[in-house]
A = this chain, B = another copy of it.
Amino acid sequence: MSESGPMTGTRAESGALTGTRAARAAETEVALKEAAIRVFGRVGYLRAKITDITAEAGRAAGSFYSHFDSKEQLLEALLVDMLEAGDRSAEQSGHNPDFSDFEAVRWHIAQLWALLTTNGAVIVALQQAAIVNEHFARRQQELMAPMFEDMAAHLDYVTAAGGHLPGDRMAVATAMVMLMSQYAYAWLEGWPQSSGPRPTADEAVDMLASFILNGIMGPIPPSRAATS
């Protein structure tokens, strides 16, 4: 027994390139996806070359096509992964839909913030892909539509609580989503570059929550705004 069996020995020694065929293929697919996310984050989806991704994953160029038909299909796969993970985490949370309440607004913003910071590369990739590709333009709409509807529904609580929306409920919902997502994007990009230290994530979420609650309802009591 000074030598292990030929197969098991080979497996243990050559690391990532061993295992059953199926396992090895699955490993490579995951490696390609993870590499893609890193490359997208570094140079953006539109500038990312197939060979950038395979190089980042430590594979040959041709290997890519054993797993994906194209860069588009890879992005689609990443989107599916993201949405599955999102569905799983969304199930458990019974949330408060009453947007006349500061904590409810803040909770929703924090949720969106978490989504953007954990899946930033994929979401920004989708945004970029939507610019040059009809399919992803539609996909982006499909992702945003429920957000608009969701926000609009939450705004009805504001009206019910005697708040005075600044305009049409759908227009206000659209403005809210645009504000949240774009401010988050600017924050991730480090805008504006000129001035002092950028806010922490918590400060940013607080600011947005106060801004939006004031915007849709009127000022919140200073005590709550200061302590949250």
Contact = CB atoms under 8 A, between A and B. Distances in A.
A101 B179 CA distance: 22
A119 interface: no
Interface string A193-212: 11110110001101111111
A183 interface: yes
B141 A210 contact: no
Given A46-B131, A175-B179, A210-B167, A149 B222 contact: no
Contacts of A193: 141, 145
A219 B168 contact: no
Interface residues of A, number: 52
Q: Name the prevailing secondary structure of the A interface residues.
A: helix
Contacts of A194: 145, 148-149
A169 B193 CA distance: 15
Contacts of A111: none
Copies of this subunit: 2
Given A175-B211, A179-B182, A166 B203 contact: no
Nearest to A226: B164
B44 A207 contact: no
A171 B199 contact: yes
A203 to B, nearest CB: 6
Contacts of A216: 211, 214
Interface of A: 44, 46-47, 128, 131-132, 141, 144-145, 148-149, 164, 166-168, 170-172, 174-175, 178-179, 181-183, 185-186, 191-196, 198-199, 203-204, 206-212, 214-219, 222, 225
8 contacts: A145-B194, A166-B225, A168-B203, A171-B203, A178-B186, A214-B215, A215-B215, A219-B219
